[in-house]
Amino acid sequence: MKPRIFVTKPVPAKVEEFLSAYCDCVIWKENAPLTREQLLERVKDVEGLIVTSSSPRIDQELLDAAPRLKAVCSMSVGYDNIDVQALRQRGVVATHTPDVLNDTVADLVMTLMLSSARRAGELERYIREGKWQKKELDGRYFGVDVHHATLGIIGMGRIGEAVARRAQFGFDMKVQYYNRRPRTLDKRLEAAYVSLDELLETSDFIVVLTPLTPETRHLIGDKEFAKMKKQPILINVSRGPTVDEEALLRALEQKQIRGAALDVFYKEPIPGDHPLLQYENVTALPHIGSATHATRFKMAMLAAENMANLISGKPPLTEIR
């Protein structure tokens, strides 16, 4: 009898076919998101769970409801919704999907940077609303250059390195980064390791790429905004709570920053009347960092391969350490 697993969202047909060779695979295919109560009801007899970063939290309560659980495989690189320590104490292995999304997320960072700098979203709305009345726009609608500007990356992991390559080689940007400690980078990169204060004080564009931990929650707040050089652009593609949203609203109101480009928010999805959306200089996207067909397929397949290995008694490919 094959081990039973539960998958919290639909996966591509090829991934489902792959999983079916190893296990009895039950997949949540409803249009409505899976609730915590529904998840707790469905884990009673499963040995494996495949989840995403938006799935209900995997914690002690869930472990108590799933006495046969052996593996939790996330189709995301971030795992702040998984209590890894609780799983380890129970002997449950957790995996995620690093690396396969690096270039895709880095592409989105550059999209946000360029869109914010040249005010693409704002000016696209300007045309749609019929406001373009004369051929030559006046300076009120001008943007700023990305080329040769200074980029500060907070959280220089593999995605940060992919962003740095694009910035340096594609746009001749000066790249600097802040991390808990210096990293050994691609030798071609000329990225300087600096303190957080120096990064804030000297960067024209600031990209937040750090994972969400107790230490990085509200990493960017009032104090950090006050230290920033005159009117930088802030880009957040990490997790919403790494930036204090109330402090961000104050920074926008006081024109401490030129604008913000956000793919993540405190609570998702955000409503159309969210205070951040009142600002024309805020570029907002619905958490699409890895959202291309090819990358999402790779993420789902890597999670499936991790699950197949674990229920077959083999080591996982990408265990959360």
Q: The CATH number of the domain where 34 resides is what?
A: 3.40.50.720
pLDDT band at 166 (very low <50, low <70, confident <90, very high): very high
Answer yes or no: do 256 and 303 share one domain. Answer: no
Return the percentage of the chain with pLDDT > 70, whole number: 100
* Three-state SS at 176: strand
pLDDT at 62 exceeding the cut of 90: yes
Q: pLDDT value at position 194?
A: 98
Answer yes or no: do 91 and 210 share one domain. Answer: no
Answer yes or no: do 192 and 262 share one domain. Answer: yes
Number of domains making up the chain: 2
Residue 321 included in any domain: no
Half-sphere exposure of 307 (CA within 13 A, CB side): 33
Q: Which of 190, 246, 253, 268 is catalytic?
A: 268
Return the percentage of the chain with pLDDT > 90, whole number: 95
Answer yes or no: do 160 and 228 share one domain. Answer: yes
Answer yes or no: do 211 and 113 share one domain. Answer: yes
> For residues 237 and 209, what is the distance between their CA atoms, to the nearest angstrom?
6
Q: pLDDT value at position 176?
A: 98
**Other beta carbons less than 10 A from residue 126's beta carbon:** 15
- Run of H or E including 71: strand 71-74
Average pLDDT over residues 154-170: 97
90 tagged catalytic: no
Answer yes or no: do 138 and 43 share one domain. Answer: no
268 tagged catalytic: yes
10 Å CB burial of residue 271 (0-12, 13-18, 19+) is exposed
pLDDT band at 257 (very low <50, low <70, confident <90, very high): very high
Task: Choose among 5, 2, 1, 81: nearest CA to 304.
Answer: 5
pLDDT at 134 exceeding the cut of 90: no
287 tagged catalytic: yes
Q: pLDDT value at position 112?
A: 98
Average pLDDT over residues 191-201: 98
The average confidence (pLDDT) of the chain is 96
Residues 109/163, Cβ–Cβ less than 8 Å: yes
Answer yes or no: do 141 and 85 share one domain. Answer: no
Q: pLDDT value at position 19?
A: 98
pLDDT band at 137 (very low <50, low <70, confident <90, very high): confident
Tell me the longest C-alpha to C-alpha distance in the chain: 72
pLDDT at 136 exceeding the cut of 90: no
Answer yes or no: do 136 and 279 share one domain. Answer: yes
Q: Which of 119, 165, 287, 296 is catalytic?
A: 287
Q: Which domain holds residue 32?
A: 4-100+293-311
Residue 317 included in any domain: no
pLDDT at 50 exceeding the cut of 90: yes
Q: pLDDT value at position 1?
A: 86
Q: Which of 4, 119, 166, 239 is catalytic?
A: 239
Q: What is the pTM of this model?
A: 0.94
